[in-house]
Amino acid sequence: MNEVRLSDYRPPDWLVPTVALDVRLDVDRTLVTSRLTVTRNGDHRRPLRLDGQDLETRRILVDGAPVEAVPNGEELVLAIPGDSAVVEIEVAIAPRTNTRLMGLYGSDDLLVTQCEAEGFRRITWFPDRPDVLSLYTVRLEGDAAQFPILLSNGDRGAAETLDGGRHAVTWTDPWPKPSYLFAMVGGQLAALRDEFVTMNGRRVELAIWTAAADVGRCSHAMAALKASMDWDERIYGREYDLDQFNIVAVSDFNAGAMENKGLNVFNSKYILADSETATDADFDAVAGVVAHEYFHNWTGNRVTCRDWFQLSLKEGLTVFRDQQFSADQGSAAVRRIDDVRALRAVQFPEDAGPHAHPIRPDHYVEIGNFYTATVYNKGAEVIRMLHTLLGRDGFRRGTDLYFERHDGQAVTCEDWVAAMEAATGRNLTQFRRWYDQAGTPTVTVHMARAGRQLTVNLAQSLAATPGQPSKAMMHMPFRLALIGRDSGRRIGDERLVELTAGETRLVFEDLDEPVLLSLNRGFSAPVKVVAPASRADLAFLAGADDDPFARWEAMQRLSLDVLATDDDPHELVDAIAATLADGAAGRLDPAFVGEAVLLPTEAFIGDQASVVDVESIHRRREAARAAIAAVLEPQWWQAWHWHSGTGTALNAGAKGARRLANVALAYLVTAGSAEALAAARQQYDGAATMTDRIGALSALINTDTPERDACLADFYDRFAGNGDVIDKWFTVQALSTRADTLEQVQVLLRHKDFTLHNPNRLRALVGAFAANQRRFHAADGSGYRLLADQLLAVDRINPQSAARLAVPLGRWQRFDAGRGALMQAQLQRIAGTAGVSKDVMEMATRALA
């Protein structure tokens, strides 16, 4: 496998100041003529090297003269005698057979592009790297009936009506951009339109394009777009810079969305939403992704990445910005808990396994494999730590300087950190290690009390990761406070301690009562904290900590402690009862209560142990759920009665109420009374929102009851034809804890609505099943075999999608020897299959290393 290394980076030999594309759209054979001005970069005699993939090259001209160059695989080398030239190349491409969904491809009746990271080379020959920035003019031509709407980046220019029912539109983007931000779309689309006036009075036309029948489901996305534009002006002083902003929603898409300049392309899942079809979580995800892609206009587009090793420069920063935006829109505490939950569910395991890599990796085979939770979510945590260390104003001075210095450039993570240092005078030398070192640090806390004095010792450590046997100390902001064990109040102010050494000692004087530690408040550092605490103390903190994250964390720690044993879970039951009582008395909001009373997932419980014991974890967790359900049955009924039937409002209060009602319903169904099944059925039938409908179905899905079967059948009939909702129907079944789940998944793989061609559908069934710890990790390896079969089948269609399916098998070292061997055997089978893609090969071989 051919490895790309950060240390091999060299500036481009040739620059391409301008690109003119002329594209004749056709589903079977699209003709692309490019006209590139190229200029020699630096003092060298090297030829011009262009990247291309799956292109039929028809004609090459240099300065108007035909050239007899023949592509060598995925490279075309052109000798250019002078220091500049005009290169014209005509190629043909075949969108219909482009199942990789990279480059130009068909989705429903549309033709659409995806270029990040290396898709532009599937459209035309080009130096397809992010440090080559060009001004683009794009003329799109096609049949006027088949492609009435023709979109590309920038501002819309002249339209032409042509003979034979054809037409053309020319788009000009005034901002230089790398090829990965190029986009074009053609097809029958309708728009939801609006406008936004920027802080300097620029009137921007906004349009969200989708099938005509779906225009009514775009208003939430439109509201989120306008809110994002306003927020970025207020918080970061960033203004939009074109007269138009277009978004297109498509059904077939590898990622969530793409920030192409002025023409974002979205997975329809992150645009279309109404209360019938989208859950509250979906509404939040739509707003979050719309904001994320919009924020990329500055963090990614105006200032872009020099090379793909710098991916976190734009992704970590933009995730942090979208998290800040979402926190400002609703309950900041619940958002933070959700962010941490996601980090722990995906990124911590990645950082602890064979695919661990720093947020700035230093080598890759296929860059598509590095769009990871580490680069994105840990990357965002690293930016958040800078925000904490520098303070809000210092951070803003830093971003202002970063934009001022680097607007229009392709830069590195080092340039970002250097701007932060220059703007604030802080020395971030040690902090830079977050960019180089993989793995989740651990902070181990000890405390010693002597009279009125308390000494707290904080020790950091970081285990070896692949390729990094020894690690240096990190610089981390660690927030902590003392909580009085008698008063239940915070003692003194919260402290922000900067951990830089192996051990840090803190001394607190003049304490009048016993105290407990409230640690890593707000999850100020993305680390694991190990601190001794009795169950009674954790239960106390779960009721008294004044930091909402730490309060939730105390409940998680208590749960993990109880679930690690076969003990009677009464401490946990009591703590949940106390939380519900605080909620009922109005001392806690329902959204927080709904989070706090949820047990950690089986996967997260497994992450705490050195060897994941699949059966015991499941048995203990189910036993605890049953006890919590039975002992607190009256409280669950009360919570359900109070909070169900909230209607369709999307404010934080209504969302919180629905959340708690659905958690309560799930416990009631677990308790198993006939009344509970009837309540679930009633909620399902009368649901005003998808949150309530899928909440009832999820509560029933683990049962063996007529209610389950009836609701499941109704759900399919009710939403047949709506892809995003039918995905939920597949997922809810794949996540069932019932013993027949694997068999059901096999049946669903043959369902007429299942296809390997649609990445959402694949994730909804196969991806979801691989997250079902109890059933995927069947002791006989049948789950692993199923996953590997699907992976190999998808690899022939879409390698990027296939490679992601290798991740769960890469966890083999975490399981018992029997399961570990069965997982390895599937990885070996994958790696040994002839013709496997480099995407999959890289993931499988790293997993086996």
Instruction: Show contacts of 761-766: CB within 8 Å, 24+ apart.
Output: 761/723, 761/727, 761/730, 762/790, 762/794, 762/801, 762/805, 763/727, 764/727, 764/728, 764/730, 764/731, 764/734, 765/730, 765/731, 765/734, 766/734, 766/790, 766/805
Q: Which is nearer to Zn ion, 100 or 292 (CB)?
A: 292
Q: How far apart are CA 226 and CA 259, in angstroms?
A: 16
Q: Does 118 bind ligand B3K (CB under 6 A)?
A: no
Residue with tokens 């970590």: 316
First to last CA, the chain: 14
Q: Does 255 bind ligand B3K (CB under 6 A)?
A: yes
Q: Which is nearer to ligand B3K, 368 or 695 (CB)?
A: 368
Number of amino acids touching ligand B3K (CB under 6 A):
13
In the list ligand B3K, Zn ion, none, the entry touching 116 (Cβ below 5 to 8 angstroms by class) is: ligand B3K
**Least distance (Å) from Zn ion to the CB of residue 476?**
25
Residue in 133, 79, 272, 121 with CA at minimum distance from that of residue 190: 272
Stretch that binds ligand B3K, among 148-156, 254-262, 777-785, 803-811 (CB under 6 A): 254-262
Type of residue at 49 = R
Q: Does 22 bind ligand B3K (CB under 6 A)?
A: no
Q: Does 650 bind ligand B3K (CB under 6 A)?
A: no
Q: Which is nearer to ligand B3K, 55 or 117 (CB)?
A: 117
422 to 461, contacts with ligand B3K by CB under 6 A? none
Type of residue at 594 = G
Residue 422: is it exposed, middle or buried by C-beta count within 10 angstroms (0-12/13-18/19+)? middle
Q: Which is nearer to Zn ion, 370 or 667 (CB)?
A: 370
Q: Does 292 bind ligand B3K (CB under 6 A)?
A: yes
Per DSSP, the residues of 106-159 read: EETTEEEEE-TTTTGGGTS-B--STT--EEEEEEEEEETTT--EEEESSEEEEE
Q: Which is nearer to ligand B3K, 254 or 412 (CB)?
A: 254
In the list ligand B3K, Zn ion, none, the entry touching 371 (Cβ below 5 to 8 angstroms by class) is: ligand B3K
Residue in 81, 68, 298, 75 with CA at minimum distance from that of residue 177: 298
Q: Does 16 bind ligand B3K (CB under 6 A)?
A: no
Calculate the alpha carbon distances from 496 to 432, 478, 482 in Å.
Answer: 19, 6, 12
Q: How far apart are CA 397 and CA 479, in angstroms?
A: 23
Stretch that binds ligand B3K, among 256-264, 572-580, 603-611, 781-789 (CB under 6 A): 256-264
**Least distance (Å) from ligand B3K to the CB of residue 258?**
5
Stretch that binds ligand B3K, among 203-211, 249-257, 457-465, 833-841 (CB under 6 A): 249-257
Residue in 58, 46, 185 with CA at minimum distance from that of residue 124: 58
Give me 226's structure tokens: 């306008």
**Least distance (Å) from ligand B3K to the CB of residue 100?**
11
Mapping DSSP to helix (H, G, I), strand (E, B) and coil, where does residue 546 land?
A: coil
**Least distance (Å) from ligand B3K to the CB of residue 298?**
13
**Least distance (Å) from ligand B3K to the CB of residue 528?**
27
Stretch that binds ligand B3K, among 252-260, 460-468, 771-779, 806-814 (CB under 6 A): 252-260
**Least distance (Å) from Zn ion to the CB of residue 322?**
8
Q: How far apart are CA 740 and CA 614, in angstroms?
A: 17
The answer to whether the CB of 655 falls within 8 A of the CB of 644 is no
Q: Which is nearer to ligand B3K, 365 or 516 (CB)?
A: 365
Residue in 45, 54, 70, 49 with CA at minimum distance from that of residue 127: 49
Q: What residue ranges bind Zn ion (CB under 5 A)?
A: 315, 318
Residue in 116, 141, 259, 293 annotated catalytic:
293
DSSP 8-state code for residue 527: -
Stretch that binds ligand B3K, among 253-261, 384-392, 655-663, 726-734 (CB under 6 A): 253-261
Neighbours of 234 (CB within 10 A): 10
* Contacts (Cβ under 8 Å, ≥6 apart) of 536: 571
Q: Which is nearer to ligand B3K, 255 or 584 (CB)?
A: 255
Active site annotation includes 293: yes
**Least distance (Å) from ligand B3K to the CB of residue 116?**
4
CA 742 from chain center: how many Å? 27
Torsion of CA 775, 780, 786, 792, to 10 degrees: 140
Q: How far apart are CA 149 and CA 812, in angstroms?
A: 49
Q: Does 783 bind ligand B3K (CB under 6 A)?
A: no
Stretch that binds ligand B3K, among 56-64, 257-265, 412-420, 739-747 (CB under 6 A): 257-265
Q: Which is nearer to Zn ion, 53 or 318 (CB)?
A: 318
Q: Please compute, for residue 17, the number of CA atoms within 13 A of its CA located in the half-sphere on the CB side.
A: 8
Q: Which is nearer to ligand B3K, 381 or 571 (CB)?
A: 381
Q: Which is nearer to ligand B3K, 292 or 763 (CB)?
A: 292
Q: Does 361 bind ligand B3K (CB under 6 A)?
A: no
Residue of the chain from 154, 368, 439, 810 that contacts ligand B3K (CB under 6 A): 368
HEC secondary structure over 321-376 = HHHHHHHHHCCHHHHHHHHHHHHHHHHHHHHCCCCCCCCCCCEECCHHHHCCHHHH
78 to 117, contacts with ligand B3K by CB under 6 A? 116-117
In the list ligand B3K, Zn ion, none, the entry touching 255 (Cβ below 5 to 8 angstroms by class) is: ligand B3K
Q: How far apart are CA 312 and CA 771, in angstroms?
A: 26
The answer to whether the CB of 769 falls within 8 A of the CB of 733 is no
Q: Does 232 bind ligand B3K (CB under 6 A)?
A: no
**Least distance (Å) from Zn ion to the CB of residue 295?**
8
Residue of the chain from 173, 214, 232, 293 that contacts ligand B3K (CB under 6 A): 293
**Least distance (Å) from Zn ion to the CB of residue 282?**
19
Stretch that binds ligand B3K, among 4-12, 164-172, 251-259, 268-276 (CB under 6 A): 251-259
CA 532 from chain center: how many Å? 33
Identify whether 630 is preceded by a cis peptide bond (ω within 30 of 0).
no
Q: Does 121 bind ligand B3K (CB under 6 A)?
A: no
Residue of the chain from 229, 258, 417, 420 that contacts ligand B3K (CB under 6 A): 258
Phi, psi of 117 (to 5 degrees): -90, -40
Phi, psi of 243 (to 5 degrees): -85, -15
Q: Which is nearer to Zn ion, 315 or 707 (CB)?
A: 315
In the list ligand B3K, Zn ion, none, the entry touching 117 (Cβ below 5 to 8 angstroms by class) is: ligand B3K
Residue sitting closest to ligand B3K (CB): 255
Q: Which is nearer to ligand B3K, 292 or 321 (CB)?
A: 292
Q: Does 839 bind ligand B3K (CB under 6 A)?
A: no
Residue of the chain from 88, 214, 315, 545 that contacts ligand B3K (CB under 6 A): 315
Pairing of strands 410-411, 304-305: parallel
Stretch that binds ligand B3K, among 13-21, 255-263, 325-333, 707-715 (CB under 6 A): 255-263
**Least distance (Å) from Zn ion to the CB of residue 591?**
26
**Least distance (Å) from ligand B3K to the CB of residue 800?**
6
* Contacts (Cβ under 8 Å, ≥6 apart) of 392: none
**Least distance (Å) from ligand B3K to the CB of residue 618?**
34
Binding site for ligand B3K (CB under 6 A): 116-117, 254-255, 257-259, 292-293, 296, 315, 368, 371
- Give the catalytic positions in this structure: 293
